[in-house]
Structure 1
């Protein structure tokens, strides 16, 4: 027996199942294939933030007083954060609820597949679609709205950890909220409503300088506000920091809040995630 064969077989001759990581990679490839085969979903996912960015940037195109930027440049960073949350929180919250309702999760749980592999597949889906979403929005932002890409490695490193912490926190919250809808049909309403509210109070549709303090205080409790602020700090000049509530980008606080939501989201997933629908007991 060769070394390769011996690693794939037990001593008694029975086959060794692939590990969670290997199966997770295969699940990720399958998730991506299924996603890109649904052309309407692909178009909606990537076009939605671009359309809204274009609308708001066209309506509010004046210069922001004392900030050295235009209002349209603000929307590029804000829509970047919203787009990432859309591909993670909203996408997972709805899709997992539908898979549970259609008993896909129940069937998967009855297979030898390690439970972790299912979530690894979702992670790969979220990472790839999130990166593509960010790339498309940055292309539009730099081409149409004069947003300058960072020239320093520090700024790109900052973008990297904000992206990773933000998409991780939002993905975990999406998995957690997927257990809230009573059926797959109600999943869209249950997931979209809080996401829509967060966009209004986190500086996505309305710049932070136009929001009352109580809204900013509530928005600061959630990841989206800090993702928006962090991306503004990466892609806008230092002069634009005057529009922030604290007058600075607060990168340290951004890391703290997003990291805390990663931990909180994981705890919520462990406490609330169900493989079966409520009617299945």
Structure 2
């Protein structure tokens, strides 16, 4: 009788937080392997920022340095000017675009429905997705920095304070992007429409948020629109890390406004978590 009473307790404990974390860790490995086996995902999310950095750096190097003096001296190279924006774009692509399209396709082809019929906890599934985003984003970031430094001679920061800023902007940005990717996956009606629904808004945000165009050159009203969304703040935070302090003068208000970046990203993170909690289902209600 004692053994019979202890058995349910043992089985219950095996379905606790420890099991959830173990399954989540296993899902990270699985999701990462699947990610690198998809050639289209590799190009449009993992390699895309590196390719765009290379194209812009080579195409515009004949225009001279950004912020150079009238005599042509000083300033920073085109590669150094584009690097912060490409890092921010890579964060957004790794989270929002990657997870948004991936989960929408899994919901459409029945993968989520099948997972819903297994003992896999929803949290383990989320851990797997977000762990994959973090792992692949870090690899992408390392590749970006290596290409910028060794191929284009971009000097990386040496001050510890700069890298501390980089760390919190990156971690807050990647967490926000991953959560928003899960939330936005509810928008496409099918897996076939996922890329058409998700990629165009992401592309537009890159043009108005200081990734492909200098943010200071945009009209004031367009800067205000971009300030609503997280990519602008991630790009601004990365510019504070990789650009000279003198470049803060062309930012809105003449400062980097890192406090504003932190607040904006936290608002989007919390909002994304609320949406995920309210809307995530293994299957669509109208399916």
TM-score under structure 1 normalisation?
0.90
User: Following TM superposition, by how much is the alpha carbon of 1:19 offset from its aligned partner in structure 2, in angstroms?
Assistant: 2.1
2:98 corresponds, among 83, 87, 91, to 91
1:111-166 CA deviation, whole Å, 9 max, x = no partner?
11211110000011000011111111111111233322221222111111101110
Q: Which runs of 5+ in 1 are unaligned?
A: 1-5
List gaps (5 residues or longer) in structure 2.
69-73
Q: Note if contact 2:186-2:279 (Cα within 8 Å) is conserved in structure 1.
A: yes
Is structure 2 residue 147 aligned with structure 1 residue 145?
no
Cα shift at 1:218? 0.6
Q: Distance in 2 between matches of 1:269 and 1:92?
A: 13
Partner of 2:71: none
Quick check: 243-252 or 61-70, which moved more?
Answer: 61-70
Aligned to 2:41: 41
Deviation at 1:230, TM superposition (A): 0.7
Query: 1:140, 1:242 → 2: CA distance?
Result: 28
2:66–2:81: 8 Å Cα contact kept in structure 1? no
Query: What is the CA–CA distance in structure 2 between the aligned matches of 1:246 and 1:57, rounded to whole Å?
Result: 28
* Structure 1 segment 60-139 matched on structure 2, within 5 A: 60-61=60-61, 62-65=64-67, 68-139=75-146
Partner of 2:7: 12
How big is the shift at 1:39?
Answer: 4.4
1:56 aligns with 2:56: yes
Aligned residue pairs: how many?
273
CA distance in 2, matches of 1:106, 1:40: 24
Which of residues 259, 262, 273 in structure 2 aligns to 1:255? Answer: 262
TM-score normalised by L of structure 2: 0.89
Displacement of 1:212: 0.9
Q: Deviations over 1:27-70 (max 9, x none)?
A: 11111121223345335433211121122222333222368323
Say which SS state the counterpart of residue 253 (structure 2) adopts.
Answer: coil
